[in-house]
Chain A
């Protein structure tokens, strides 16, 4: 991995390394496969259109099983581990950010943020936990003979409702990315403009 010579050093700020971007990209692809296959299994109109239930189930299962792999593989990257540390730690400014978000206060000054804002931190932690819950309940539904009676129905119940919740939260995540082209550029190219960084993440010291 080498420094890109074509990145203008004065106006562009390096936000994500290649490893981090690939973790995001592969996770996004696997998550999309999970969501699309889930819809084809669950929404009657789509199920009717697509059919091939066995194949769709297999694809869904394997995509779900692979979902944590990019993040685990990403742990070899020092930059990715540093980002995980940033996502984990909440400082006083994050409290301010969350309070402003609850009050729907959109002024920049009311929402101080480091490399990641408090909303991104909560999202990352929640979606990681939710993914593992989906994996656990999914495995119970997959390998039915490994768990006692009743567990499968209960796992199905949690899997169904959490899937709906993840779908809504994911739509919010994608919607916010769609509303911020520079943030998307950061995830696509690895670099963002300095003024965007200072505006959106004033406490971040890249």
Chain B
């Protein structure tokens, strides 16, 4: 393999000043590795400190750049499809069907006319980020289920979304909890498109992948069908702090 001889003959020789000296490169390399490992060990402490500091800084930051820093506070946008159609008060519809006596179709105005429930709780994503004290407002899912008349054979609820790909499921007992909403507002504003507006699911006690964005269909079924991320390895019963191998503080 040595057709390159003439060029490297000098390069590999010990007459070069750089062939001698201390192996500082190796020390920098190993030092970086060591710091990385130390970082993982010290992460919980460091993270708490940084969150407190950046949270304070974000309040006074007019540029919004702190929002881009890791753990700078705030939501992160996740979508599983390349583009999501936009729906508004004119063309948004929510259908309720499956094992019900009275299938329903709601417009945005219909949903707004129903009694609204407001909750303020932390949002916890399974990837680690958490947004404290986030107000959600909307119609209790149990109210919509009761209005449709769930049949005795039913055991679960399946949610579909107008992005065309995402889906989620809850058992009927989970779906009837008082802290599960069909949410119309978040952070005291109408739900914007990037947060899953105009209507999303909000499952307060579970990891945020359960709170399907761009909700368009509610189907009452016999059994739980795994949702989009659950087919890709996430837990179906996604209680915050008691699933997905995580021990976060419960959110509800």
Q: Which residues of A contact B (CB under 8 A)?
A: 1-3, 14, 17, 42-44, 47-48, 50-54, 76-79, 82-83, 85-94, 114-116, 121-122, 124-126, 128-130, 132-133, 136-137, 140, 144-145, 149-158, 160-164, 203-206
Contacts and interface: CB of A to CB of B under 8 A. Distances in A.
Contacts of A114: 16-18
Range class of the B interface residue count = 35 or more
**Interface of chain A, helix or strand or loop or mixed?**
helix
Interface string B229-249: 000110000000000111100
B11 A154 contact: no
Given A115-B18, A153-B44, A162-B36, A129 B28 contact: yes
Interface of B: 1-4, 6-8, 10-13, 15-33, 35-37, 39-41, 43-44, 46-47, 67-71, 75-84, 127-128, 194, 232-233, 244-247
Given A1-B4, A89-B25, A154 B76 contact: no
A1 B5 CA distance: 11
Contact of B81 (A14, A17, A52, A124): A52
Nearest to B70: A160
Given A115-B11, A153-B44, A157-B47, A164 B69 contact: yes
Contacts of B27: 125
Given A48-B194, A91-B20, A53 B47 contact: no
A145 B245 contact: yes
Contact of A154 (B13, B31, B41): B41
24 contacts: A2-B3, A17-B4, A44-B76, A50-B82, A53-B80, A78-B2, A88-B26, A89-B18, A89-B22, A89-B23, A90-B21, A90-B23, A93-B17, A114-B18, A125-B27, A129-B36, A144-B233, A153-B246, A157-B39, A157-B40, A157-B46, A157-B128, A203-B17, A205-B16
A155 B40 contact: yes
A16 B19 CA distance: 17
Nearest to B248: A153
B79 A48 contact: yes
A204 B15 CA distance: 10
Contacts of A17: 4, 7-8
B187 to A, nearest CB: 15
Given A53-B78, A122-B28, A145-B245, 16 more contacts: A17-B7, A48-B77, A48-B79, A53-B80, A85-B19, A88-B24, A89-B20, A90-B23, A129-B32, A149-B247, A155-B40, A158-B36, A163-B70, A203-B17, A203-B18, A204-B16
